[in-house]
Amino acid sequence: MKKSILLLFGFLFLRLSAQIPTYYSPVNFDLTGLALKAELSDLITSTHTSPTSYSEVWDVLKVADLDPENDDVVLLIYGYNDADGDNETDRTRDKHANGGSPPGEWNREHVFPKSLGSPDLGTTGPGSDPHHLRAADIDANGHRSNRKFANGAGNAGTVGANWFPGEEWKGDVARMLMYMYVRYNSRCLPNAVTIGTSNAIDANMIDLLLEWHAADEVSPFEVNRNNVIYEEIGNRNPFIDNPAIANRIWGGPETEDTWGVLSVENFSTSTLNINVYPNPTESGEINLAIPASQTINKIIMYSLDGRQIIQAKPALATNQYALDVKDIPSGLYLIELEVLGQLHIRKICIQ
């Protein structure tokens, strides 16, 4: 049995290291919460080696924002209808029809408005970062202005004094704002541009963005856009590459783990019904419960590289146990329960 446990550790360790793209190899994905955010910030800042000027952004968008079905046109953020005769609602536009003359031209929309940065983003640095600059109809851009994002339904438009980006674009917006926060930190706070409830892990994050991120999944257009911008400036948007990274940092509704290595669902080597909660945990405690007819004999907690972190043995026969993990660093771990001489493994996440 111990041999099989060691093989399990080896399998999980290789699984974690083998499927994460090389670009992300400097990041320790055993981390969660703000510790993981900090490592990602270091990565996407250090690899942002070829910043674009504001004028160069035009040419980047003519490639990055191309319609996957027609490379003569760009997709216009907030747009939704090419057939209603209203330029402002157009979803696509000739890629060369860019400039500053309404109606009928597209310009560079700062999804994170310049004036809402701290300080103002200007047109250099974050103000010229194409990861959050999108082709937009001039009139639509003007009507959005610097309105904060708020929840809504249907097509893009005002929600009171705020702005809903539209069902097609709300996930794109969420991922752009998450990128800007991780890349520029306090200069680009999500709660400065979004109306909603503050996240329990990070008060600067707004849960609405996590909801949009989960509801409007990453599209092939976003994947291609991320790749084009990466080739231009050297860094990537992690939340496009793997949506589950957002869950590892801020929790929220579950999203796809495109690498297959970041999920926190229980990993089981048995059919024994073991309730592990909360998982992930921020409370400093993991509760373990098995059927009343069974008894927990011993509990061992391991790191994913096989190091023993905690060993506990209930003083009295019990089918429930609260494991104190408040002094354990955030990350992924394995819990081994011994029940009637049999070993049972579950995976947990500490935030």
The tens digit of pLDDT for each residue in 22-76 reads 999 999 988 889 999 999 999 999 999 999 999 999 999 999 999 999 999 999 9
**Inter-residue contact 92 to 67 (CB < 8 Å):** yes
Specify the pLDDT at position 189: 98
Question: Is cis: bond before 291, omega within 30 of 0?
Answer: no
Q: For the whole model, what pTM was predicted?
A: 0.77
Q: Give the CA-trace dihedral at 227, 230, 235, 239, to 10 degrees.
A: -20
**Inter-residue contact 182 to 248 (CB < 8 Å):** no
Query: What CATH number is associated with residue 282?
Result: 2.60.40.3080
Q: Which of 204, 227, 250 is the last residue of a domain?
A: 250
Same domain, 96 and 44: yes
Specify the pLDDT at position 16: 44
Specify the pLDDT at position 72: 98
Specify the pLDDT at position 209: 98
Give CA–CA dist 229/223, Å, rounded.
10
Q: Which of 228, 250, 272 is the last residue of a domain?
A: 250
Half-sphere exposure of 3 (CA within 13 A, CB side): 0
Give CA–CA dist 51/68, Å, rounded.
25
Specify the pLDDT at position 5: 47
pLDDT tens for residues 76-122?
999 999 999 999 999 999 999 999 888 899 999 999 999 999 999 99
70 falls within a domain: yes
**Inter-residue contact 112 to 61 (CB < 8 Å):** no
Structure-token pair, residue 96? 């060369």
Structure-token pair, residue 2? 């111990």
Which residue segment(s) compose the domain that 92 sits in? 24-250
Same domain, 94 and 224: yes
Specify the pLDDT at position 265: 54
Structure-token pair, residue 76? 């216009």
Specify the pLDDT at position 14: 42
Same domain, 33 and 116: yes
Q: Can you list the residues of the chain whose pLDDT is less than 70?
A: 1-18, 263-270, 305
Q: Per the structure, how many domains does the chain have?
A: 2
